[in-house]
Amino acid sequence: MVDRRYREGEIQALIVLGELNDPIETPNNNFYSFYPKSIKQAQAYFRRFALDLTEVFDALVRRELAYKQGDAWLLTKRGQQAARQARRRRPPIWYWYKDFYIAIENSRAFSLYCERVYGKDLSQHGFSNVDELHWMLDLVKLDETIQLLDIGCGNGRISEYISDKTLARVMGIDYIPEAIAQAKRRTANKRDRLCFQVGNIDELDSVGKRFNVILSIDSIFFGQDLTATLANLKRLLKPDGEMVFFCGEDLSTPLRQNRLACTVYSRSREHHQHLQLKRRVATGLRKDFEAEGNRFIWENIMAESLDDANSYDSANCSRPRYLYRIWTQPAN
Ligand SMILES: C[S@@+](CC[C@H](N)C(=O)[O-])C[C@H]1O[C@@H](n2cnc3c(N)ncnc32)[C@H](O)[C@@H]1O
């Protein structure tokens, strides 16, 4: 979570000065471009959440986080550190996801899209449709004795669905406060088996309990470093527990470095069809998204779907997808 010493305006001012003076490239920037030339350009980072920073730069100077040189504000050493930390905790996509989860709470277009693409509206933003969820639930047996952690749970509707189906005790973690607030409100009467917490994949120390199953659907790669992420998750696993990740990454090196064993299932063929379906469904719903003022969601779907009517060809697969079932190797 973001350092409580700083208010939102100060966080934005730190990030702006960082972007202008010491930019860091990160993947998944969702429509934010690097190397802004002015404060105004840098504020595109915050989308509609951008605050008026007129007074805030001087506040950073008073806190010895910045200093003025001519017309420009520059970060002090302490300011640079604070800016890097704020940017790591709130990359551009954090503001995108904030916008997204607020928008979809009442979006009929997104609900229709989910029903048509995933077979059921669970506010999905990954690539697992209901068939894939059920397939996974057949592999990984869950019941009321199981404690499951869902990393990158969004607004928790998938976590809730899994718990409703299996009675497993599910904790969902996501770094978007609005998504977690929606999850908590919606499941207030299921507290005996569902709980949700705002948290960052890179800062899981506060989780405070261990799990039989750790699930992550298209979220594991958002951490800073996969080896460190797996090491941290391994610590949250009960003896004999397992991790279940859907993703497109090759995890062999981070798994080896953490002495973790796995079975890998290819989902690339299903994924190819899923990405084609996304394109077809979204194309038909463009006007619905636009009428709601949610074109940014439509653009995101179009960007990650597949504009290719050809059937799956394993030799030319550019978008692989896997399910990893992972467990701890006994020490020699
Ligand atoms: C591709 S979406 C998948 C959401 C959900 N698992 C699904 O399948 O629909 C990725 C999710 O990870 C969350 N996320 C991204 N980076 C994160 C981080 N560093 N810590 C915690 N959550 C993160 C996002 O807010 C988003 O809800």
Query: CB of 219 closer than 6 A to ligand 1?
Result: yes
Residue 84 sits in the same domain as residue 188:
no
Indicate whether 242 belongs to any domain: yes
Pocket test for ligand 1, best of 162, 174, 206 (most atoms within 8 A of CB): 174
- Residue 289's contacts (CB-CB under 8 Å, 6 or more residues apart) are 107, 109, 110, 282, 295, 297, 298
Q: What is the pLDDT of residue 22?
A: 83
Indicate whether 96 belongs to any domain: no
Q: What is the pLDDT of residue 3?
A: 67
What Rg, from alpha-carbon coordinates, does the chain have? 21
Residue 234 sits in the same domain as residue 133:
yes
Q: Is the dihedral of CA 129, 247, 26, 81 positive or negative?
A: positive
Over the stretch 9-55, which tens digit does the pLDDT of each residue have?
999 999 999 999 988 877 777 777 778 999 999 999 999 999 999 99
Indicate whether 301 belongs to any domain: no
Indicate whether 263 belongs to any domain: yes
| Two structure tokens written together for 57 | 């730069």
The 169-174 sheet, strands edge to edge: 194-198, 169-174, 147-151, 211-217, 237-247, 322-328, 260-266
- Ligand 1, closest atom to CA 150? 6
Of 209, 220, 203, the closest CA to residue 255 belongs to: 220
Residue of minimum CA distance from atom 12 in ligand 1: 152
Max distance between CA atoms of the chain, in angstroms, equals 65
Q: What is the pLDDT of residue 23?
A: 85
DSSP 8-state class, residue 81: H
Which residue stretches of the chain have pLDDT < 50? Answer: none
Residue 181 sits in the same domain as residue 234:
yes
Q: Give the domain-ending residue among 90, 121, 137.
A: 90
Expressed in angstroms and rounded, the spacing between residue 67 Cα and the centre of ligand 1 is: 36
Residue 62 sits in the same domain as residue 122:
no
Q: What is the pLDDT of residue 1?
A: 54
Residue 118 sits in the same domain as residue 26:
no
Q: What is the pLDDT of residue 330?
A: 75
Q: How many domains does the chain have?
A: 2
Range of the domain at 43: 8-90
How far apart are the C-alpha atoms of 312 and 314, rounded to whole Å?
Answer: 6
CATH number of the domain enclosing 197: 3.40.50.150
Query: CB of 109 closer than 6 A to ligand 1?
Result: no
Residue 53 sits in the same domain as residue 113:
no
In degrees to the nearest 10, what's the CA dihedral of 302, 275, 217, 133?
A: 130
In degrees to the nearest 10, what's the CA dihedral of 242, 244, 249, 254?
A: -10
Query: CB of 100 closer than 6 A to ligand 1?
Result: no
- Ligand 1, closest atom to CA 123? 9
Indicate whether 211 belongs to any domain: yes
For residue 118, give the amino acid letter.
Y
Residue 186 sits in the same domain as residue 238:
yes
* C-beta of residue 126 within 8 angstroms of C-beta of residue 219: yes
Query: CB of 172 closer than 6 A to ligand 1?
Result: no
What 3-state class would DSSP assign to 230?
Answer: helix
Q: Give the domain-ending residue among 90, 120, 145.
A: 90
Residue of minimum CA distance from atom 1 in ligand 1: 126
DSSP 8-state class, residue 55: T
Residue 235 sits in the same domain as residue 180:
yes
Residue 122 sits in the same domain as residue 200:
yes
Indicate whether 226 belongs to any domain: yes
Q: Give the domain-ending residue among 60, 90, 120.
A: 90
Bridge-based pairing state of the strands 211-217 and 237-247: parallel
Expressed in angstroms and rounded, the spacing between residue 290 Cα and the centre of ligand 1 is: 24
For residue 244, give the amino acid letter.
V
**β-bridge mates for residue 237, sequence order:** 211
- Ligand 1, closest atom to CA 201? 20
Indicate whether 300 belongs to any domain: no
Residue 180 sits in the same domain as residue 226:
yes
Q: How many Å separate Cα 173 from the centre of its chain?
A: 10
How far apart are the C-alpha atoms of 301 and 289, rounded to whole Å?
Answer: 11
Q: What is the pLDDT of residue 2?
A: 58
